[in-house]
């Protein structure tokens, strides 16, 4: 096995709890179009596959419809003006980023289905752009998670073999994308997705909290180093 040289994080539900801002932005768009606002619990169930899919599900419209285009623009305009009004770090996330950044030869990246416009303003507001070697956001390629292409694209950008990448997320999209890309997957409880769906996806490791991640990465690096260290030849006895 290759030692982990890069950790790629999902964003919403993994590093940040952004439910409040997503709900506010979507309901703003719905109300502007003369539709009714939706309960937060319902909207959260639609999150994970990008803004267009979110809006399609919330409005019960085909993704290719003109009204989804209009709602999407309203959503993104409001979201980019209010990126972190209600957004909070997931428990321990800043410390986890610090710990991983301190590991030698470790690259960090983001892989999210969140629209690029929204991703950029959120990361800028959080002030973590300088920690990241690369970022993939919704719309950067025709494919999105659970396709392996976003993660393979990031591996190429970082110059890291796919087998040396660990994908960390809270949803089945993250686990499936990693599996199909030939990468390790770590799922974290307590995000936006139900635990049953996360377990059914079959991650390599399931963590109760993100704060456990540095220890897992450290173990993988140490174990791989021991496995690949050549043994000294036995001494030749006279």
Closest of 174, 170, 172, 194 to residue 184, by C-alpha: 174
Please indicate whether residue 196 is annotated as part of the active site. Answer: no
Q: Where are the beta strands (DSSP E) in 94-204?
A: 107-115, 134-138, 165-169, 184-188
- Say how far apart CA 19 and CA 221 lie, in whole Å: 34
Q: Residue 146, preceding bond cis, omega within 30 degrees?
A: yes
CA 149, chain centre distance (Å): 14
Closest of 7, 6, 25 to residue 121, by C-alpha: 25
Neighbour count for residue 90 (Cβ, 10 Å):
21
Q: Are strands 6-9 and 88-89 parallel, antiparallel or unpaired?
A: unpaired
For the record, the structure tokens of 135 come out as 């970022």
| Helix (H/G/I), strand (E/B), else coil: 231 | coil
User: Which of these is catalytic: 10, 12, 49, 170?
Assistant: 10
Helix (H) or strand (E) holding 7: strand 6-9
Compute, in degrees rounded to 10, the torsion defined by CA atoms 45, 51, 53, 58. 50
- Say how far apart CA 144 and CA 48 lie, in whole Å: 10
Which amino acids are annotated catalytic?
A: 10
């Amino acid at each position: 096995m290759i030692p982990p040289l890069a950790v790629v994080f999902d964003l919403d539900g993994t590093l940040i709890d952004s439910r409040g801002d997503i709900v506010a932005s979507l309901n703003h768009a719905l109300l502007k179009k003369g539709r009714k606002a939706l309960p937060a619990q319902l909207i959260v169930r639609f999150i994970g596959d990008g803004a267009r899919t979110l809006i399609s599900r919330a409005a019960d419209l085909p993704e290719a419809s003109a009204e989804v285009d209009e709602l999407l623009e309203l959503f993104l305009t409001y979201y980019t003006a209010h990126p972190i009004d209600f957004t909070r770090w997931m428990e321990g996330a800043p410390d986890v980023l610090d710990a991983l950044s301190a590991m030698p030869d470790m690259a960090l990246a983001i892989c999210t289905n969140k629209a690029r416009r929204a991703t950029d303003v959120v990361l800028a507001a959080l002030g973590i752009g300088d920690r990241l070697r690369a970022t993939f956001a919704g719309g950067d390629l025709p494919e999105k998670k659970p396709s392996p292409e976003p993660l393979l694209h990031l591996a190429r950008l970082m110059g890291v073999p796919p087998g040396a990448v660990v994908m960390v997320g809270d949803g089945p999209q993250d686990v499936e994308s990693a599996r199909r890309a030939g990468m390790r997957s770590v799922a974290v409880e307590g995000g936006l997705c139900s635990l049953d769906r996360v377990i059914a996806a079959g991650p390599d490791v399931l963590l109760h909290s993100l704060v456990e991640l540095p220890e897992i990465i450290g173990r993988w690096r140490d174990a791989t180093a021991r496995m690949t260290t050549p043994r000294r030849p036995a001494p030749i006895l006279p």
